[in-house]
Structure 1
Amino acid sequence: MTGLPVMRRILLVIFLAVVVMYGILLWKTNVFLLPPTAIQRKTGLETCKLEPPFASLLKGQQIYPFLCVNDFMKVALFNGNDKIELPYGIKRAESYFHLALSRLHNCGLFSEDDGVFCRRCVVVGNGGVLRNKTLGKKIDSYDVVIRMNNGPIIGYEEDVGKRTTFRLFYPESIFSDPINYDPNTTVVLLVFKPHDLKWLWNILSGHKINTNSFWKKPALKMIYKANQIRILDPIIIRKTAHEWLQFPTKFPRKEKPKHPTTGLIAITLAFHICSEVHLAGFKYNFTDRNSSLHYYGNETMSEMIENGYHNIIAEQTFLKLLIDKNFVISLT
């Protein structure tokens, strides 16, 4: 009879040990950092055994970057997005997010069977430094090519390549001419105001677009199919602004709020889905106000310098830190 309590103690110790080991395993795989409904979705880093050089920036966090209609509220509660208004949260805009997401047919990241385990990614900025660099073939050799806004490809293939995996945009910067359509591109909406979500809902529903609430005329037609469109989780932009650029959560009344550029947000996205990140087209010449701002068009650096919406100095300082620490490699 005395052997029974001893056996129970042994079984209890074994059970507790198993629970502890299981907890450690979950912690190491970052499952505790994902809301329950998002565990099934993978960012792509799970399949790679190599630790990315920028791992210390992520602080063990594993964020699925795109919102899904069936659980975006649970994800928002988990990430704290429910307590923050746009542009970096969803508070007071929940109904707009639901409307827009309900028109999308997919919230996936990569195909489950694409066979790529450690993705090499290149984020292609629109900087004039890309001109005459003939990096096109090099850019196309990466597993993932991330571009932004309406940076054109046609006519610039030798310098910027042909492939696009993800293209980040907002309503005022998305292509509207069908000549730029690419069936292999996933376009990702960055939401800064409720009207961005209403725009997406209206344009996919065939409704008339009200252009009054945009800083310049948005696209009036969508050249991409609904299954090619995603909505970026605001937490990605929030990490860029508050953790990496150290922007305050509230700006003084007399100071115009600063927000990250699409380019830096694209780099943040890359850090959450890639094991290796390279950059092209992110260098600017601040000493010459007449130098080319983009690899296309006639805009000059003076327009970037005078832009009060971004803090370009802070971004260039952060990019230099990334390069100096070998977190990323710059091709330009």
Structure 2
Amino acid sequence: MLHFSKTVLMNRLTHLQIVQPEEADLHRLLSAGRVVATEYDKQGFLTKLDRNLPLELQYKYGNLSKGECKPGYAEAKMTSIYPKFSKPAPMFLDPNFKRLSKISGYPPPFGVRTQEKIIDYILQATKRYSLDSELDSISCKKCIIIGNGGILFNKSLGSQIDQYDVVVRLNEAPVVGFEKDVGSKTTMRITYPEGAIQRPERYEKSSLFVLSAFKPMDFRWLRHMVFNEKPRRMEGFWKSVARAVPRDPEDMRILNPYFIQEAAFKFIGLPHNSGLMGRGNIPTLGTVAITMALHNCDEVAVAGFGYDMNTPYAPLHYYERLRMSAIRESWTHNISKEKEFLRKLVKGGVIQDLTHGI
């Protein structure tokens, strides 16, 4: 392995006029005696990515049996391609959420500012702020995020999906009738009001209901769901929303909005817009869920991700007949930039894509 003095390496980086990781990260890597790669993109990711493990990770994971969970693997791989990654970020908000400085200065969707009182009120009722005790006790967690893409159809991945410790589903994507392809296990369902299942009988009997709030009224809606109240006013939503969620308060959670913020501004590089929701600066819920998993899981896989606009007659979702051609340019999302980010994760071996759609 080559080693350079700090002065020589800094000179070479300056001469190449490249985008560098933050100064503190560079000093940390230099002091550890590691060679710093010579090229980073605007977000701070290595421009030359491959699935091969760095030497130190080969030593750490090389002796594990095939299929055995690799402790800290997602964090280690993410850090190897993105030195600015910092893992500590709780999955859900708890009564001490105001200590989280990264979200205190932003209103929804990137933070909690202006919503502190209603969040306190909700959390007093839900009482629980993590996964269940059985999952919390697992020292190495394998997680999978199930997207809703038509690419899942007829792949027969159900039994493989059910082997993961944590299975995350999004919005109203059904399970019953599609178990062969998408599995039957659901640990949590992350959604927002407009995406939530509206027919109570379609909810799984045992899973966490997790709100990802994109606007202030989403918290008001969740308050009604937690206290089993019928919402009096439904203005402000862009389509109809559920009037009830058949879950006890103890089974409801609020996703940490930091994952929306980090995915948008750090990982994808969407417009900051003074920290407010604006045109093309909101990541999709799937990417938010993946970001959450990078912070809280040891291994991360995905399935059902990836829209191929070159196949307009392919099914858009695995559970309906809508075609890919139905997709229109989104006001809130930037699908092309988001896909670029997800491809970095796959190419760098940070996540595994079971359906190869990314």
TM tier, shorter chain?
0.7 to 0.9
What runs of 5+ residues in structure 2 fail to find an aligned partner? 1-68
Rounded Cα–Cα distance in structure 2 between residues aligned with 1:114 and 1:251: 36
Query: Does residue 1:71 correspond to 2:93, yes or no?
Result: no
Bigger radius of gyration: 1
* 1:138-186 Cα deviation digits (max 9, x unpaired): 1011111111101100110000000011211001111232322323311
TM-score (norm 2): 0.73
Worse-matched range after superposition: 119-128 or 97-106: 97-106
The one-letter amino acid paired with 2:333 is: H
What runs of 5+ residues in structure 1 fail to find an aligned partner? 1-46
Aligned pair partner of 1:153 in 145, 163, 175: 175
Counterpart of 2:48?
none
Report the CA distance between 1:241 and its aligned residue: 0.6
**Percent identity of paired positions between Structure 1 and Structure 2:** 34
Contact 2:313 2:325 in 1 (8 A): yes
> What does residue range 84-95 of structure 1 map to in structure 2 within 5 Å?
84-95=106-117
| Secondary structure of the structure 1 residue equivalent to 2:138 | coil
- The 3 A distance-change label for structure 1 pair 93 and 257 is farther
* 1:283-331 Cα deviation digits (max 9, x unpaired): 2211123321100112222333432221111111111111111111111
Counterpart of 2:60?
none
Rounded Cα–Cα distance in structure 2 between residues aligned with 1:272 and 1:144: 14
| Secondary structure of the structure 2 residue equivalent to 1:322 | helix
> What does residue range 1-332 of structure 1 map to in structure 2 within 5 Å?
49-52=71-74, 53-56=76-79, 57=82, 59-68=85-94, 70-75=95-100, 78-79=101-102, 81-111=103-133, 115-209=137-231, 210-250=233-273, 256-332=279-355
Report the CA distance between 1:84 and its aligned residue: 1.2
| Secondary structure of the structure 2 residue equivalent to 1:107 | coil
Rounded Cα–Cα distance in structure 1 between residues aligned with 2:194 and 2:132: 26
The one-letter amino acid paired with 2:219 is: L
- The 3 A distance-change label for structure 1 pair 330 and 225 is same
Worse-matched range after superposition: 86-95 or 259-268: 86-95
The one-letter amino acid paired with 1:323 is: V
- The 3 A distance-change label for structure 1 pair 263 and 63 is same
Rounded Cα–Cα distance in structure 1 between residues aligned with 2:135 and 2:302: 27
Contact 1:237 1:260 in 2 (8 A): yes
| Secondary structure of the structure 2 residue equivalent to 1:54 | helix
| Secondary structure of the structure 2 residue equivalent to 1:299 | coil
| Secondary structure of the structure 2 residue equivalent to 1:199 | helix
